Amino acid sequence: MDWWFFLEVFVGGLLSGVMYSLVALGFVLIFKASGVFNFAQGAMVLFAALTFVRLLEMGIPMLAAVGITMVIMVILAIAIERIVLRPLVNQDLIILFMATIGLNYFIEGMAQLVWDSKVHVLDLGIDEYDAFEIGEAFINKFDVYAALIAGGLVLVLSLFFRYTVIGRALRAVADDHQAALSVGIPLRTIWIYVWSTAGLVALVAGAVWGSKLGVQFAISSVALKAIPVLIIGGFTSIPGAILGGLIVGCGEKLAEVYLGGFVGGAIENWFPYMLALLVLMIRPEGIFGEKIIERV
């Protein structure tokens, strides 16, 4: 066995896994705070990436474009709270879930109506094909930078949740709505924060994915890759989203290279789901998920 090649595949898998983690993170944030599985997260990634790339094409400098996109994502969050969540407050979670499906199509359509549906090239100034050489293994530079960006984002988010007043209020709402209200935490404001944060994560994910694949409609379907990640890592855990992403990324690349030959290849596409199924059978709440204890 060629160990350098193994290392190359392994690290490559880890790095692409980080990209899955980025998308999964957006889901976890909203699920944690409101128990809603936000089906529209993929559409938000597409919308953020499209907005960002079109602003760049208009000749706006990159930092300003990031800022403007972020402002637009916050406005989107406020609109979602006002128009979708507020009228549905206290409804069953399945109803909120259905609403996010509608939201998904609305945002996808709006993104393409406001901008357009062509494939856009997004250049973040990193050469996509450049690689680091470690021994005899080649590690893609772009993937390394993407991983660093994701890592930084996760660090900032954890500090925010852990140490700020708003972060603590967010965790309070995630734990118990009634109790959060009783100490004076307004749920609506918190939802706007959560959806804005999910919007920021969508922007980062969109920028990274967009510069790899080109900004196009297909980006919204990377959200599907987040589902096995969430099942493996647990829906309520930020570290779980990271670890789940790494497992999925690594697993699918290694499986493709080392098992693909035996079953005719292309197992990269279904392997994560099989992995997720396995986890579901052994530990239904995911590796880091909150243990489900039913009292009788």
Partner 1 sequence: MSNQNLVSQSEVIMNLKDINLSFGGLKALSEVNLQIKKGEILAIIGPNGAGKSSMLNIISGIYVPQKGVVEWKGKIRKKIAPHNIARMGIARTFQNIALFKGMSALENILTGRNILMKRNLIMEMIYMGLGRRQEEKHRKKAEEIIDFLEIQAIRKTPVSRLPYGLQKRVELGRALALEPELLLLDEPMAGMNVEEKEDMCRFILDVNEQFGTTIVLIEHDMGVVMDISDRVAVLDYGIKIADGTPDEVRSEQKVIDAYLGAG
- Nearer of residues 262 and 295 to partner 1, judged by Cβ: 295
CA gap 61, 229 in Å, rounded: 34
Count of residues engaged in binding partner 1, rule: CB under 8 A: 22
- Nearer of residues 129 and 163 to partner 1, judged by Cβ: 163
Contacts to partner 1 from residues 156-195, by CB under 8 A = 160, 163-166, 168-169, 171-172, 174-176, 178-187
Residue 193 Cβ vs partner 1, minimum distance, rounded to whole Å: 9
Residue 42 Cβ vs partner 1, minimum distance, rounded to whole Å: 27
The candidate with the shortest Cα–Cα distance to 203, out of 84, 77, 59, 58, is: 77
CA gap 48, 197 in Å, rounded: 12
Mark residue 292 as left, alpha or beta (left: phi above 0; alpha: psi -120 to 50; beta: remaining): beta
- Nearer of residues 186 and 265 to partner 1, judged by Cβ: 186
Give the DSSP letter of residue 266.
-
The candidate with the shortest Cα–Cα distance to 122, out of 204, 224, 241, 27, is: 204
Contacts to partner 1 from residues 19-78, by CB under 8 A = none
CA gap 13, 32 in Å, rounded: 27
- Write each residue from 107 to 146 as x if it is in contact with partner 1 (CB under 8 A), else as -, in one continuous string: ----------------------------------------
14, 140 Cβ separation under 8 angstroms = no
SS3 category, 194 = helix
- Nearer of residues 139 and 172 to partner 1, judged by Cβ: 172
Residue 188 Cβ vs partner 1, minimum distance, rounded to whole Å: 8
Binding site for partner 1 (CB under 8 A): 160, 163-166, 168-169, 171-172, 174-176, 178-187
